[in-house]
């Protein structure tokens, strides 16, 4: 089943059910453009045989970065720099979609000390994030326009689809959540109002790219925080999305404050008992989504075994399998996996032994591997965990300094 094609509502066909989910690359040049390394990285991923590759966060506003190494699609003059990336990424007949995103209050202080957000509620994590300014109506309209512009650039450059990032605590997810959106105008309050920005962007982007261009939305099943965006609310948003023209709904979960999408490891730390029994940790939520929506559904997080992927596809729990980390640590095995020759993509576990550092160490480890791949180097499994845990802070600082000077 994993190797069968799928036809999307817009008419596009994806050659199989395996999707490389978004992973931020952090390797743009000082003008926020893609570099040759993007092509190197994505050509290798294209050669894995996966049906669809989704890029890491491509930001729509260079003042609101998820990483100082983000690409920003805000100027058509960049097209000659972007096109080679799109070409290399689809060299094996696969689709490649751009994940367009705005970080809102999750933009770190190296980029801006006063990020824009729905409300002035600061993200408190290691002192890295400034107090946000609540967006004015005009600023909200500008954000809608910037998503449309990024969509136009993506299509012109040769990418074959888009994903609007409304998960993981970034701007659209901040609008959806009652803990970060306490607005009293048409953009806050009821779940309809909190969804308005996502739905408005979706409609405008659809107008821009036309009926036959794939659009996906990445949505949280929940924020996993007290008073945050709940599964019930997420299902309300799914019902609204079901009435719109979208091609793939991807489910994930968590925010910077609660990194739910990252926590799957050999020990299954912090994952609910019911979910732990099955390897993909948002799969229980998929059933509830199916009850309220007919949208093609993709779940990301934890899928590792051939039999399990086929089982959930065959019994109709999901239509597409999203995977991220195995595209770093098990890249050589993906094509065998698609053919059923490799039955398990084993999780890589990196531990510092200090609980507070574990997330940062994993993040640093994967970031360093992606940078290596972009230079044509191979996976380096044995990296110092403590250095990995500090790497991103140094890297982000250095990269943002270079960009500020230019
Ligand atoms: C290095 C790295 C970077 C990531 N960057 C993004 C990103 O840019 N956008 C996004 O939506 N998710 C991002 N994620 C989350 C993944 O898409 C995915 O949801 C998560 O890793 C769980 O899937 P997995 O268990 O197959 O790795 C990232 C994950 C990793 C490991």
Which pLDDT score, from 0 to 100, does residue 267 have?
A: 41
**Does residue 316 surpass a pLDDT of 70?**
yes
**Does residue 264 surpass a pLDDT of 60?**
no
Which pLDDT score, from 0 to 100, does residue 328 have?
A: 97
Residue 266's pLDDT band (cuts 50, 70, 90)? very low
Q: 88: domain CATH number? A: 3.20.20.70
Q: Is 264 in the pocket of ligand 1 (CB under 6 A)?
A: yes
Is residue 1 in some structural domain?
no
* Residue range(s) defining the domain that contains residue 155: 6-347
Residues 303 and 359 in one domain: no
Map residue 86 onto helix, strand or coil: helix
Contact by Cβ (8 Å): 193, 181 = no
Which pLDDT score, from 0 to 100, does residue 257 have?
A: 76
Over residues 294-313, mean pLDDT: 96
Residues 78 and 127 in one domain: yes
Residues 292 and 403 in one domain: no
Task: Quick: pLDDT tens for 63-121.
Answer: 999 999 999 999 999 999 999 999 999 999 999 999 999 999 999 998 899 999 999 99
Task: Quick: pLDDT tens for 216-245.
Answer: 999 999 888 788 899 999 999 999 999 999
Which residue's CA is the nearest one to ligand 1's atom 28? 23
Of the residues 347, 373, 392, the one at which a domain ends: 347
Which pLDDT score, from 0 to 100, does residue 258 have?
A: 72
- 48, 43, 75: which is closest to 154 by C-alpha? 75
* Dihedral angle sign, alpha carbons of residues 116, 390, 34, 218: negative
**Does residue 268 surpass a pLDDT of 50?**
no
Element (H, E) at 52: strand 52-59
User: What distance in Å separates the CA atoms of residue 25 and residue 303, rounded to the nearest whole number?
Assistant: 21
User: What distance in Å separates the CA atoms of residue 222 and residue 201, rounded to the nearest whole number?
Assistant: 21
Residues 245 and 357 in one domain: no
Is residue 322 in some structural domain?
yes
Is residue 97 in some structural domain?
yes
Alpha helices, H only, 267-347:
273-276, 283-292, 306-314, 326-329, 334-338
Q: What is the pTM assigned to this prediction?
A: 0.95
Residues 222 and 78 in one domain: yes
Residue 281 DSSP class:
T
Number of domains the chain is built from: 2
Q: How far is the CA of 22 from the centre of ligand 1 (A)?
A: 5
Q: Is 39 in the pocket of ligand 1 (CB under 6 A)?
A: no
**Does residue 194 surpass a pLDDT of 70?**
yes
Q: Is 165 in the pocket of ligand 1 (CB under 6 A)?
A: yes
Which pLDDT score, from 0 to 100, does residue 101 have?
A: 98
**Does residue 261 surpass a pLDDT of 70?**
no
Is residue 172 in some structural domain?
yes
Contact by Cβ (8 Å): 234, 220 = yes
Lowest mean pLDDT among 136-145, 243-252, 308-317, 354-363: 354-363
- Nearest atom within ligand 1 for CA of residue 366: 1
Task: Quick: pLDDT tens for 10-61.
Answer: 999 999 999 999 999 999 999 999 999 999 999 999 999 999 999 999 999 9
Over residues 321-345, mean pLDDT: 97
Q: How far is the CA of 343 from the centre of ligand 1 (A)?
A: 22
């Amino acid at each position: 089943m994993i190797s069968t094609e799928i036809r999307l509502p817009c008419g596009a066909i994806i050659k199989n059910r395996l999707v490389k989910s978004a992973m931020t690359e952090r390797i743009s040049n000082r003008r926020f453009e893609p570099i040759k390394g993007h092509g190197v990285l994505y050509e290798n991923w294209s050669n894995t045989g996966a049906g669809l590759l989704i890029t890491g966060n491509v930001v729509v506003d260079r003042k609101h970065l998820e990483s100082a190494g983000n690409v920003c699609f805000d100027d058509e003059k960049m097209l000659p720099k972007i096109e080679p990336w799109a070409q290399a990424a689809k060299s094996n007949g696969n689709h490649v979609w751009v994940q367009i995103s705005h970080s809102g209050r999750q933009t770190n202080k190296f980029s801006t000390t006063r990020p824009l957000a729905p409300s002035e509620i600061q993200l408190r994590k290691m002192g890295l994030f400034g107090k946000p300014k609540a967006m004015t109506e005009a600023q909200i309209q500008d954000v809608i326009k910037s998503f449309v512009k990024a969509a136009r650039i993506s299509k012109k450059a040769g990418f074959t689809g888009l994903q609007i990032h409304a998960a993981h605590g970034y701007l659209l997810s901040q609008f959806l959540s009652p803990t970060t959106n306490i607005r009293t105008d048409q953009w806050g309050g009821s779940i309809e109002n909190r969804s308005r920005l996502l739905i408005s962007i979706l409609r405008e982007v659809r107008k821009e790219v036309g009926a036959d261009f794939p659009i996906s939305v990445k949505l949280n099943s929940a924020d996993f925080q007290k008073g945050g965006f709940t599964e019930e609310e997420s299902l309300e948003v799914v019902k609204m999305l079901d009435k719109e023209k979208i091609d793939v709904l991807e489910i994930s979960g968590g925010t910077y404050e609660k990194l739910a999408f990252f926590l799957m490891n050999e020990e299954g730390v912090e994952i609910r008992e019911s979910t732990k029994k099955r390897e993909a940790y948002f799969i229980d939520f998929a059933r509830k989504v199916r009850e309220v929506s007919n949208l093609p559904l993709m779940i990301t997080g934890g899928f590792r075994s051939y039999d399990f992927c086929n089982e959930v596809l065959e019994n109709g729990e999901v239509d597409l399998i999203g995977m991220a980390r195995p595209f770093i640590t098990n890249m050589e095995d993906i094509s065998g996996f698609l053919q059923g020759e490799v039955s398990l993509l084993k999780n890589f576990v990196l531990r510092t032994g200090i609980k507070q550092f574990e997330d940062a160490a994993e993040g640093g480890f994967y970031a360093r591997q992606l940078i290596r791949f972009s230079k044509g180097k191979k996976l380096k499994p044995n990296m110092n965990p403590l250095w990995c845990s500090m790497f991103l802070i140094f890297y982000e600082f250095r990269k943002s300094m270079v960009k500020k000077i230019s």
